[in-house]
Amino acid sequence: MKPGIDRDKPVCEEPGDLSGLCRVGGIAAYILIVYSLATIVQMVVLGGQPTTAAEAFTLLQHNKALGLLRLDLPTLIVMPLYYLLFLGLFAALRRSNPVNALLATALASVGVTLVLATPTALSMLPLSDKFATATTDNARAQILAAGEAIMATDIWHGTGAILGGVLLQCGAVLICCVMLRGGVFGKATAWLGIVMHGLDLAHIIGGLFVPAAGVVLMAIAGPLYPIWFFLVGRRLLQLAGKKE
């Protein structure tokens, strides 16, 4: 443990500390647990993202809610929670290693912003409506082409989104390295985060070249997220002085 850091002392509760950031970061982590578990259930029960624009349009026309779920609208809704989570982690770790804690937070924030800037499921809704009312093959073909273009630049395939994902995971690995030596979080939490986010980073990069390998890596990393979010969220709330 680093000298001067007492893991039993709520460091975010001292005068001048950012206890509010620790608290909102902990709450954000708990919400992300629900999202992570729901995503796992969705993938198993409902399936993943549609592979073609025609499939996406069919889903949206028959069941908009199901279509939006499979087009990853929930991911875009919860992504801003990462801002709050990393601000909470920065508040907790800024005394341990302020430079790397700040750098990790900056990397994650830029990454989330890039992901949020990508086209979303909402962009497919008006195209789906137009496709349903199109009266000629030429019009349908043009709409399908537009839909394929949107899907090619979404949160899983677009250059900005991929770069954003890489930055987010790099920031997450870095903040977990700060955890490892900071004495504020347990080593198990830090190592779990390093492994999990490292696998997710490898999934993003490796998936570009070997898609099947990316799927396997994400299948390993995915179930670890709820555990890590729980450990991080619990500790952040403890640091904020909230009794669990």
Spatial CB neighbours of 56, under 8 Å, sequence gap ≥ 6: 50, 67, 70, 71, 124, 128, 147, 151
Question: What is this structure's pTM?
Answer: 0.86
Unique residue bearing structure tokens 């804690």: 101
**Tokens 């954003």 sit at which residue?**
164
Report residue 4's pLDDT band, with 50, 70 and 90 as the boundaries: very low
Q: Which of the four pLDDT bands, split at 50, 70 and 90, describes residue 244?
A: very low
Q: What is the pLDDT of residues 8-47, one digit of tens each?
A: 444 554 444 578 999 999 999 999 999 999 998 988 888 8
What pLDDT score does 243 carry? 42
pLDDT confidence of residue 12: 55
Q: Model confidence over 157-198: pLDDT tens digits?
A: 788 889 999 999 999 999 999 999 988 999 999 999 999 999
pLDDT computed for residue 8 by the predictor: 42
Q: Please give the pLDDT value at position 5.
A: 45
Average pLDDT on 54-64 reads 91
Distance separating alpha carbons of residues 99 and 89, to the nearest angstrom: 13
Average pLDDT estimate for 128-155: 90
The tens digit of pLDDT for each residue in 188-231 reads 999 999 999 999 999 999 888 888 888 899 889 999 999 999 99
Residues 6+ apart with CB under 8 A from 193: 172, 173, 175, 176, 179, 228, 232
Would the pLDDT of 238 be above 70? Answer: yes
Question: Percentage of the chain surpassing pLDDT 70?
Answer: 92
Q: Residue 1 — pLDDT band, cuts 50, 70, 90?
A: very low
Mean pLDDT of the chain: 88
